[in-house]
Amino acid sequence: MLSARTACPCIPMNRRILVFGFAALLPVLAITALAEAPADGSSGPGFPGMAMTKDDIAHGQKLYTRNCASCHGAKLEGQPNWKRRLPSGRMPAPPHDETGHTWHHSDRELFTMTKLGVEAIQPGYQSDMPGFAELLTDTEIRKILAFIKSTWPERQRAAQARLNESDKSRATRDRTLSTRRREP
Report if residue 13 sits inside a domain. no
- Domain residues for 78? 54-182
Structure pTM? 0.68
Report if residue 129 sits inside a domain. yes
Report if residue 112 sits inside a domain. yes
Domain CATH code at residue 83: 1.10.760.10
> How much of the chain exceeds pLDDT 90, in percent?
57
28-83 confidence digits (pLDDT tens): 444 434 344 444 333 345 565 567 899 999 999 999 999 999 999 999 999 999 99
DSSP 47-61: BTTB---HHHHHHHH
The number of folded domains in the chain is 1
Report if residue 40 sits inside a domain. no
